[in-house]
Structure 1
Amino acid sequence: MLLDALSPLPSAVNLGLVALSALTSGISAAAGIGGGTLLIMTMAQVMPAAALIPVHGMVQLGSNASRAALTWRHLDRGILAAFLPGVVLGALAAAWLLVRLPAGVLELCIAGFVLYACWGPGWPRRAVGRAGTLVAGAVTTFLSSLVGASGPLVAAFIKQGLTQRLPRVATFSACMTSQHLTKAFVFGVAGFVFRDWVGLMLAMVAAGFLGTWLGLRLLHRLSDHRFDAIFKWVLSLLALRLIWLGVQRLTG
């Protein structure tokens, strides 16, 4: 059966993940953030730990690339150009260094950063200038290879430099595309065999493109003010979930 051939997982699980890819891509396109985190939370329940981050990364590569392609006219090329060198540095660090924070600390740090970006006072211009953007690219790419979903962190940073919904979605998608692209290198170096999961990844990417197209149709109907409110609250809810996970892991 075709569904059985997609991956080592049962056919029903493969079908569920393909459908979920369409749903979460639509969420990310319409709300600007959240789909990737929801996807990795669900995948973590049914996939082997060794396959979780690399497979999720390749699926998110397809989802973000399609969203970036459909919104490229609104891309802030200055932010992307400053972000890319940081992505390269972060990927190299992730490939060669084995740095691990105590369980729970990473989640709490990311949550604190996101909540400050959403509700705290504005950052100084230097923090969102070229140097700050390069540092953000390096740090978030490195963290992405450790925890899988760095989307809330990147989105919180992009939020500081852009106020309109379409440039924010386009630039976030392009930055995340570059970041997820490095995972093929990072996990290839680590010895992960992508071949066993290619069918599932391609099916999820195709479903994600459909979800992205539908989500962007909804995005065009939202005002900048309403989108900003949704974006901020979705980020905050994701940060609260990270706090919950961090506290659980710290307390054992």
Structure 2
Amino acid sequence: MDLVPLLPAELDAATLALVSAASFCTSFVTAAFGIGGGVAMLAILASLLPPAALIPVHGLVQFASNAGRAAMLLGHVQRGPLAPFLVGSALGAAAGGSVAVALPPAAVEIGIGLFVLWAALFAPPRAMRAGAGPAGFVSTLLSMFFGATGPFVAAYVKTLALGRMEHVATHAAMMTAQHLLKVIAFGFLGFAFGPWLAPIALMAAAGFLGTLVGKRALMRSNDALFKRALTALLCLLAARLIWSGAAGLL
């Protein structure tokens, strides 16, 4: 079947294959190591998609990826913090949406580059650990601008002192809710998801396969070595985004 008629004008078949492969790999990363895939996927998409589509498309792909991971680990999800996190996330999506869509493309690239660099090198602030409600509000507010705030949410989930399976499952459930609210907000703000549904579906399917493989690899991975390599890759991608955005402002 020829996919070209189903693709938006800004996306060709070769780029679709590349972002689908990236979805598989980054979903594997998150399933195997608990964090990092969403930020990596954001950085990759930012290099390949038009800025206006970046955050909405990334949000819907990440919603599907996190929903699949949460469903696989549903019995391990800790439900207590979910309700206040959901309320905070709804307020954060409402507060950030109308401002996010007005940002110029070059500023989006620079902002995402700085965020990716920060997420790769530094720990989230202590304020993010105050509770599920504040964590939901702040992370979703920032997610409307920068797309991937998994490290913020993971900082809060870590304070719950959960086991590994419970941590990954609860984090996935929270990120599912956050990305869903963000997608709804961008829909109300006028983003046309229709032309992007076919590539999003392919990226989501690739991400689900990556999650399956990552779950299998969870117990056999060398965390220390992989995290160093991931940090280096994210820093390189962040530098490229910042350079590209700065060039666009000049």
Aligned-residue CA RMSD in angstroms? 3.4
Within the candidate set 27, 35, 38, 1:36 is matched to 38
Residues 135 and 238 (structure 1 numbering): CA distance in 2 closer, same or farther, change over 3 Å?
farther
Within the candidate set 55, 58, 62, 1:56 is matched to 58
Structure 2 distance, partners of 1:21, 1:109, is 17
How big is the shift at 1:86?
A: 0.6
Q: Is the 8 A contact 1:74 1:170 kept in 2?
A: yes
In structure 2, give the amino acid aligned to 1:198.
Answer: L
Q: Is the 8 A contact 1:32 1:231 kept in 2?
A: no
Aligned to 1:219: 218
1:123-202 equivalences under 5 Å are 128=129, 132-202=131-201
Q: Is the 8 A contact 2:128 2:152 kept in 1?
A: no
Structure 2 distance, partners of 1:105, 1:194, is 23
Aligned to 2:47: 45
Aligned to 1:5: 5
How big is the shift at 1:20?
A: 1.4
How big is the shift at 1:4?
A: 1.5
In structure 1, give the amino acid aligned to 2:93.
Answer: A
Deviates more, 1:152-161 or 1:132-141: 152-161
In structure 2, give the amino acid aligned to 1:27.
Answer: V
Structure 2 distance, partners of 1:20, 1:96, is 29
How big is the shift at 1:247?
A: 8.5
In structure 1, give the amino acid aligned to 2:20.
Answer: V
How big is the shift at 1:152?
A: 1.7
Structure 2 distance, partners of 1:241, 1:154, is 24
How big is the shift at 1:71?
A: 0.8
Secondary structure at the aligned position of 1:77 is classed as coil
Q: Is the 8 A contact 2:43 2:238 kept in 1?
A: no
In structure 1, give the amino acid aligned to 2:201.
Answer: L
Q: Is the 8 A contact 1:25 1:209 kept in 2?
A: yes
Deviates more, 1:204-213 or 1:148-157: 148-157
Residue 111 in structure 1 maps to residue 118 in structure 2: yes
Q: Is the 8 A contact 1:3 1:15 kept in 2?
A: no
Aligned to 1:92: 94
Q: What are the Cα deviations for residues 39-73 of structure 1, in whole angstroms up to 9, with x where unaligned? A: 11111112111111100110000000000000111
Q: Is the 8 A contact 1:85 1:137 kept in 2?
A: yes
Structure 1 distance, partners of 2:138, 2:185, is 15
Residues 202 and 16 (structure 1 numbering): CA distance in 2 closer, same or farther, change over 3 Å?
same
How big is the shift at 1:157?
A: 2.2
Structure 2 distance, partners of 1:49, 1:108, is 15
Aligned to 2:72: 70
Secondary structure at the aligned position of 2:81 is classed as helix
How big is the shift at 1:158?
A: 1.7
Q: TM-score, normalised by structure 2?
A: 0.79
Identity of aligned residues (%): 41
Q: What are the Cα deviations for residues 135-156 of structure 1, in whole angstroms up to 9, with x where unaligned? A: 1100100110111111122122
How many positions carry a matched residue from both structures?
238
Aligned to 1:22: 24
Q: What are the Cα deviations for residues 146-201 of structure 1, in whole angstroms up to 9, with x where unaligned? A: 11111122122222223422111111111110010012221112211100100000
Aligned to 1:79: 81
In structure 1, give the amino acid aligned to 2:72.
Answer: L
For structure 1, the residue ranges without an aligned partner over 5 or more in a row are none
